[in-house]
Chains A and B, each alone.
Chain A
Amino acid sequence: MKIIVCVKQVPDTSGKVAVNPDGTLNRASMATITNPDDLNAVEAALQLKEETGAQVIVVSMGPPPAEGMLREILARSADKAVLVSGREFGGSDTYATSQILAAAINKIGLEDDDVVFCGRQAIDGDTAQVGPQIAEKLGLPQVSYAADIHKEGDTLTIKRMLEDGYMTIKVHTPCLITCIKELNTPRYMSVGGVFEAYSKPYEVLDYNALKDDPLIDPSTIGLKGSPTNILTSFTPPQKGAGMMLEGADRATCEKLAGIMAAKHMI
């Protein structure tokens, strides 16, 4: 049994974000992190590995420096890392990205008792689309928003969160599951793990390695294979700062209440 985990390196949008004058993100000025939901997917895979002895293979599409992130995940005791990287893959939207990642998973070889884990969504695009689209391209059943996973034989029972409750869903392997932060608490790297991370198998799949897969075609990958195009991007204007009231005492609050009354808010 194999567990394949898809991860993405993303700019850390939690702090200050620099925007270029042309409205694009100044990525060079930002730190990169492993996408938070993807760490929950890695943790789910590692817990399942402890239960079943499965092999955990972590896959990422991105530029060569993403190796650092993949080595960190090997240090958390994943067994093998695969970086999918190539100029031909650049500019892919979610549709084209899922074609490429599905081809990479085909290359790794998906067997009947395998499971694919993804994070629910990445914090740069927040689309939550790549997981379900990989599942479609591989013809796998999917369960998204997983908050609890139990495996017995070839059947997984999953608590799938909704806004107003949850569903319990049964699905058989092979399948794809997208994970949310409520699922688990990701572990840290261990000292031994860091030591071993650079001796574990690490593979780079480029365009030539994947080009024989029917999913890989100039019309379905990269910018030209992306059904969506960006018309324009922009920063929203700052709403003009309002009035800072003086002080923070009873008189201040009475003044504010007076304004609210005058403006018919109360």
Chain B
Amino acid sequence: MSNYDSSAIQEFNGGVWVFCEQRQGAMMSTSYELISEGRRLANELGTKLYGLLLGSGIEGLAKELGGYGADGVYVCDHPLLANYTTDGYTKVICDVIRAYKPEVMLIGATNIGRDLGPRCAARLHTGLCADCTHLDIDMGIYKDFLHSASTLPADKIDALNTAMVMGEKHDVSRDLKMTRPAFGGHLMASIICPRFRPAMATVRPGVMKKAAFDQAKADACEIIKPEFSLTQDDLETEVVEVVKAAKKLVDLIGADVVVSVGRGISKDVEGGIKLAEELAEVLGGVVGSSRAVVDSGWISADHQVGQTGKTVHPKIYIALGISGAIQHKAGMQDSECIIAVNKNDTAPIFEIADYGICGDLFKVTPLLIEAIKAAKAAK
């Protein structure tokens, strides 16, 4: 006799779902990333993948999701869903989930996803894992990931097939393994939701890779219009206006080259940022920063790389005057090539840098810009 009833979760056989966030009729790129990742999870579970799309006049966005792997899209189109509201979106999503019973629900960990996810999980009485950076079903793939991305002993990883749940051994082979950083990136944890469905995760934007678009699959994507009810009385919050930032935001996540500045620029903030901009321009990249630079008000928050900023994995990451606190490393350590310039030869950034130069960024960077220009000219 089991210590808990698992029969209720058997009913949740409605596939893997991805909440596809759009803002003002434009799909968020993280929706495509999650559809691509969701495709893999659905294949490993032997089930279907569906997008869940809410908004007003947004049906035209649905088919494209098929091109990244969705078998179908549940479209909830209603004037009251034009702008995101916690209460309106939560009501519709929970009603549709209760009717169609997905096994897994993925949501992009945007400021909206992280408002919506917990509210839905609390209403549905299920588990939610925040800001995941890795997702698995298949145990072989999960263990390969642990072998490469953890310091756990190999025999311990190989023996990892069950978890203690309510005092008994639970086979985790069909559970969604949701891996995320905690304690500012010092620790990673894999979380499961063994007793409730859907297993829900918010997923950090920029981490999952977008699949190649396939027009034939987009054409074949099924559009489903579930029934739901929503009235003005359901909304206790009123969106008065939605304001887009006037300045074009830096596209850190999509950049091939990121040149980031840290506290090392403090003696000449403007000069330091200007040098980073010049170096980024020579390399065709963008400027990022550590948290300290944002917290000091020297650069806007959209530049921040790290645990509380953005996660990037560019081809080249250049850290100028960044000591390399673990919070920062958590957002850039998977870059293909890391180059660090720092005055302090014991700075932790050098522990993960492919190439390090111990020196003053204000002296080194101009020389590096010149040398790269010369090397490019010589090609």
Interface membership of A235, Cβ < 8 A: yes
A-B contact count (CB 8 A): 282
Residues of A in contact with B, size category: 35 or more
The distance in angstroms between the C-alpha atoms of A82 and B29, with both chains bound, is 43
In the complex, are the beta carbons of B118 and A128 less than 8 A apart?
Answer: yes
Partner of B182, one of A126, A229, A256: A126
In the complex, are the beta carbons of A256 and B368 less than 8 A apart?
Answer: yes
Give the Cβ gap from B288 to chain A, nearest Cβ, in Å: 15
In the complex, are the beta carbons of A242 and B338 less than 8 A apart?
Answer: yes
The distance in angstroms between the C-alpha atoms of A59 and B115, with both chains bound, is 22
Interface membership of A133, Cβ < 8 A: yes
The chain A residue sitting closest to B190, CB to CB, is A231
The chain A residue sitting closest to B109, CB to CB, is A128
Interface membership of A119, Cβ < 8 A: no
The chain A residue sitting closest to B248, CB to CB, is A164
Binding site secondary structure of chain B = mixed
Question: Which residues of chain B from 156 to 193 have a CB within 8 Å of any chain A CB?
Answer: 160, 163-166, 172, 175, 177, 181-193
Question: Which residues of chain A from 237 to 259 have a CB within 8 Å of any chain B CB?
Answer: 237-239, 241-245, 247-250, 252-254, 256-259
In the complex, are the beta carbons of B357 and A233 less than 8 A apart?
Answer: no
In the complex, are the beta carbons of A169 and B371 less than 8 A apart?
Answer: no
Interface membership of B358, Cβ < 8 A: yes
Of B48-56, B60-68, B145-153, B260-268, which stretch is located at the interface? Answer: B145-153
The distance in angstroms between the C-alpha atoms of A133 and B90, with both chains bound, is 12
Q: Which residues of A contact B112 (CB under 8 A)?
A: 162
Known: A136-B119, A157-B240, A232-B152. A257 touches B368 (CB 8 A): yes
Give the Cβ gap from B328 to chain A, nearest Cβ, in Å: 11
The chain B residue sitting closest to A129, CB to CB, is B118
The chain A residue sitting closest to B167, CB to CB, is A224
Residues of chain A touching chain B, judged by Cβ–Cβ distance below 8 Å, are: 11, 13-14, 17, 19, 23-25, 93-95, 98, 123-133, 135-137, 141-145, 157, 161-172, 175, 181, 224, 226-239, 241-245, 247-250, 252-254, 256-261, 263, 265-266
Name 12 interchain pairs, CB-CB below 8 A, sorted by A: A157-B240, A165-B243, A165-B244, A167-B84, A167-B243, A227-B126, A227-B127, A229-B165, A233-B188, A238-B352, A252-B364, A256-B368
Starting from the known contacts A130-B118, A232-B152, 7 additional A-B residue pairs (CB-CB under 8 Å) come to: A11-B183, A128-B114, A129-B130, A132-B115, A170-B238, A230-B190, A254-B375
Residues of chain B touching chain A, judged by Cβ–Cβ distance below 8 Å, are: 23, 83-84, 86-87, 90, 110-112, 114-115, 117-119, 121-123, 125-131, 146, 149-152, 160, 163-166, 172, 175, 177, 181-196, 236-245, 249, 283, 295, 302, 307-308, 315-316, 325-327, 333, 337-339, 341, 345, 350-360, 363-364, 367-368, 370-372, 374-376, 378-379
